[in-house]
C-alpha cells in the first residue's frame, strides 16, 4: 500500500515516468484474456479497461467480473475508462474487484468534484476524459482533482477507428496547463494509436498511450508494444 499523503492509499501506485503503454483489452480474445495479459505483461505499464454500457456509447463491453478475473492473474495497474451514464455507481464494485483508476467523462459529469471525492474515499485514483468535440476548458477547472486527463482521439464506443489529429491541440493545452501549475498529472491519449500517432501525441505532451488494435490485434503484440514505446519515447 502506498500512502499518498492525501488521506488515501493506493493498493498499486500509478507508475511514474513517460511514456506509459496501456493496452486496451476491448478487442482482445476474451477466451484467452489471462494468456494475452501474461504475454505482454513485461512490455506494458497499465491495462486499459473499456467499460461500456450501451447507453453513453452505442456499444456494450464488459464490467466488474472481467476486472475481478484479471486481478487474479496480474499485478498490473488497471485504468478503467468508464463510458457509462452512471459511472459513480461502479466505483465501489470496481474498487472491490481490483481496479486502480477510474476515468469519467466530462460529458456525463460537468462538475466531477463529488465523483473525485468518492473515488478517493474508495482508494481509487481518478481521471477526467474529454471526447473529440469537448474542449479542454470543460475539465480545466478540475484538473487538480485528477491524476490523469484522458483526451479521446476517436469518438468512443469502438476499437479500430482512425486517429483524429485535431485533438492534438487539446493535448498541448492540457500539458501546458499541467506544467504551468507545477503538476505531474498524466495526459492520456486513446483511440487510433499506432507507433506513428503515438509519436505525434508524445510530441504534443501525452504521457500515457492507449492502444487496442495496434497491440492486441497485432500478429506480434510484444513487438508492437515495443515499437509504440520507442516511438512515444521520441526514439
Residues involved in catalysis:
50, 190
Q: Check residue 79 for interaction with ligand DX5 (CB under 6 A).
A: no
Q: Check residue 148 for interaction with ligand DX5 (CB under 6 A).
A: no
| Candidate ranges 108-116, 184-192, 201-209, 226-234; the one touching ligand DX5 (CB under 6 A) | 184-192
Q: Check residue 125 for interaction with Zn ion (CB under 5 A).
A: no
Q: Check residue 161 for interaction with ligand DX5 (CB under 6 A).
A: yes
Cβ–Cβ < 8 Å for 51, 62: yes
Among 10, 48, 71, 229, binds ligand DX5 (CB under 6 A): 48
**In angstroms, what is the minimal distance from the CB of 212 to ligand DX5?**
3
| C-alpha span between 105 and 109 (Å, rounded) | 6
Q: Check residue 112 for interaction with ligand DX5 (CB under 6 A).
A: no
Q: Check residue 221 for interaction with ligand DX5 (CB under 6 A).
A: no
Cβ–Cβ < 8 Å for 109, 131: no
| Candidate ranges 11-19, 70-78, 80-88, 224-232; the one touching Zn ion (CB under 5 A) | 80-88
Cis peptide before 143 (omega within 30 of 0): no
- Touching Zn ion, residues 10-39 (CB under 5 A): none
**In angstroms, what is the minimal distance from the CB of 50 to Zn ion?**
4
Kindly tell me which of 24 and 185 has the beta carbon lying closer to ligand DX5. 24
Q: Check residue 216 for interaction with ligand DX5 (CB under 6 A).
A: no
- Touching ligand DX5, residues 18-47 (CB under 6 A): 24, 26
Q: Which of 185, 182, 209 is nearest to 195 (CA)?
A: 209
Locate 10 and state its grid cell.
493506493
**In angstroms, what is the minimal distance from the CB of 153 to ligand DX5?**
8
Q: Check residue 159 for interaction with ligand DX5 (CB under 6 A).
A: yes
Partner interacting with residue 212 (select from Zn ion, ligand DX5, none; CB below 5-8 Å by kind): ligand DX5
Which residues make up the interface to Zn ion (CB under 5 A)? 50, 81, 190
Amino acid at each position: 500500500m502506498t500512502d499518498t499523503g492525501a488521506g488515501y492509499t493506493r493498493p498499486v501506485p500509478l507508475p511514474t515516468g513517460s511514456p506509459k503503454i496501456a493496452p486496451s483489452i476491448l478487442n482482445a480474445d476474451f477466451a484467452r484474456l489471462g494468456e494475452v495479459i501474461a504475454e505482454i505483461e513485461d512490455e506494458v505499464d497499465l491495462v486499459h479497461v473499456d467499460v461500456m454500457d450501451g447507453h453513453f456509447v452505442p456499444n456494450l463491453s464488459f464490467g466488474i467480473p472481467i476486472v475481478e478475473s484479471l486481478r487474479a492473474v496480474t499485478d498490473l495497474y488497471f485504468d478503467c475508462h468508464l463510458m457509462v451514464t452512471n459511472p459513480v455507481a461502479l466505483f465501489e464494485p470496481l474498487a472491490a474487484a481490483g481496479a486502480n483508476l477510474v476515468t469519467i467523462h466530462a460529458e456525463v459529469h460537468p462538475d466531477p468534484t463529488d465523483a473525485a471525492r468518492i473515488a478517493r474515499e474508495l482508494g481509487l485514483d481518478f481521471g477526467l476524459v474529454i471526447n473529440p468535440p469537448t474542449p479542454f476548458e470543460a475539465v480545466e477547472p478540475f484538473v487538480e482533482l485528477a491524476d490523469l486527463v484522458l483526451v479521446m482521439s476517436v469518438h468512443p464506443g469502438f476499437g479500430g477507428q482512425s486517429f483524429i489529429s485535431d485533438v492534438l491541440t487539446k493535448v498541448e493545452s492540457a500539458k501546458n496547463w499541467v506544467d504551468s501549475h507545477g503538476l505531474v498529472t498524466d495526459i492520456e491519449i486513446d483511440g487510433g494509436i499506432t507507433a506513428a500517432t503515438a509519436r505525434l501525441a508524445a510530441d504534443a505532451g501525452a504521457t500515457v498511450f492507449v492502444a487496442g488494435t495496434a497491440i492486441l490485434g497485432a500478429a506480434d503484440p510484444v513487438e508492437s508494444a515495443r515499437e509504440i514505446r520507442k516511438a512515444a519515447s521520441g526514439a
